[in-house]
Amino acid sequence: MSNTPDHELVVAAKAAMQNAYAPYSKYHVGAALRAENGKVYAGCNVENAAYPEGTCAEAGAIAAMVADGANQIRDIVIIAVGDNKAAPCGGCRQKINEFAEPDLIISVVNTAGDTTRFSLGEILPHSFKLDV
């Protein structure tokens, strides 16, 4: 597997990260995904004083995708400010799982461009999913 994430998704995730609303944690995260329709959808984390009512970047990108009528994630990049690489939280792993197959490659990137890639199945083994 290549260790190079989709450049267009990195650019979109970074742009979204720069708009994150993180006055409490100061931890800005952006996510961008490509859906089955070829479109790119991005989201950023949005914190709230009524913790834990904020939303993660991945959830924002997924909501934008679904609002546009798409329902299958083909690729996803998550970027965090600084040296950190933000793997999806447990809730976001399940949200991604709702719209992707276990072989989906998730790329986590820091602002220096360091990348780690793994499959959804690796980070969410034995997941549960609606069987339609």
Catalytic positions, please? 58
Residues 6 or more apart whose CB falls under 8 angstroms from that of 132 comprise none
CB 15 within 8 A of CB 43: no
How many CB atoms are located within 10 Å of the residue 130 CB? 5
